[in-house]
Amino acid sequence: MPDFLLNALLAGLALALVAGPLGSFVVWRRMAYFGDTLSHAALLGVALGFLLDLSPTLAVTAGCLLLAVLLVTLQQRQPLASDTLLGILAPTTLSLGLVVLSFMDEVRIDLMAYLFGDLLAVSHEDLLWILGGSALVMALLLPLWRRLLAITVHEELARVEGLPVAALRLALMLLIAVVIAVAMKIVGVLLITSLLIIPAAAAQRHARTPEQMAIGASLLGMLAVAAGLSLSWFQDTPAGPSIVVSAAAIFLAGFALPRRAR
């Protein structure tokens, strides 16, 4: 296997592994638009990284984390509904990123790679960043799993039981922000939320417990990565969109199987 293809496969599998449980929370809590907003903000992070002469990956991660904190703060202090607030921030951050990039005439950026991903161009340094970010998210998610599940099932009951609901909600959003920042290199800004949501939605149909859904989402995501890379390698299709198409095909195929009782 060529080195670049091995790097792409390892990066995709690592991301799919951690995107499974986080994508399950996104589905359970109906946070798809939140992920979409963060993915749009990733392009602003890229622009600021070039403007400030920083690593684009580091700038995107910092930008996503800051926006997650801003969203939580605004949701607590503003009377606007969450979907309205997200509907304002998503196009604003994306447009602001494009405007900032337009002022940098000396910088030549392949926007298609950022919008739709360039998994086959993952370098050894990118792979280390993706593996490290995925390992960090998984290491933080596992001890928080039960508490995050508790506030997902019933926030008021979790608050009565003494759980720090606001802090846990912020922790979940920050973990999703890190995954989105890491995933940008793989599937691109416009397709990140699909990798989070589609495998989790496919696993939900046949899972009996939250843990089964999280594990199933990870496995289906990894299968989508392998299938998408195979399609890209043999048919010369773009890798990121091929992974999303493979995930969608797996989701549709799931309807052919009988649904398991909860």
Could you give all domains of the chain from N- to C-terminal order, each with its CATH number?
1-188 (1.10.3470.10)
What is the average pLDDT score of the chain? 86
Q: Quick one: pLDDT band at residue 216, thresholds 50, 70, 90?
A: very high
pTM over 0.95: no
Q: Quick one: pLDDT band at residue 139, thresholds 50, 70, 90?
A: very high
Instruction: Answer whether residue 36 shows pLDDT above 70.
Output: yes
Q: To the nearest 5 percent, what fractions of the chain are helix, strand and coil?
A: 80, 0, 20
Instruction: Answer whether residue 45 shows pLDDT above 90.
Output: no
Q: Using one digit for the tens of pLDDT, what is the confidence trace for 174-185?
A: 999 888 888 887
Q: Quick one: pLDDT band at residue 260, thresholds 50, 70, 90?
A: low
pLDDT of the residue at 137: 94
**CA distances in angstroms from 247 to 64, 98, 200, 219, 238, listed in the order given:** 25, 29, 10, 11, 14
Report, as an integer, the average pLDDT of 20-29. Answer: 92
pLDDT of the residue at 88: 85
pLDDT of the residue at 221: 94
pLDDT of the residue at 78: 67
Instruction: Answer whether residue 262 shows pLDDT above 60.
Output: no
* Percentage of the chain exceeding pLDDT 70: 95
CA distance 225 to 216: 14
pLDDT of the residue at 33: 82
Q: Using one digit for the tens of pLDDT, what is the confidence trace for 99-117?
A: 888 887 776 776 777 777 7
Check: CB of residue 41 under 8 Å from CB of residue 180: no
Report helix angle 192-204 to 3-28, nearest 10.
60
Q: Using one digit for the tens of pLDDT, what is the confidence trace for 141-186?
A: 999 999 999 999 988 899 999 999 889 988 998 999 888 888 887 7
CA distance 111 to 77: 35
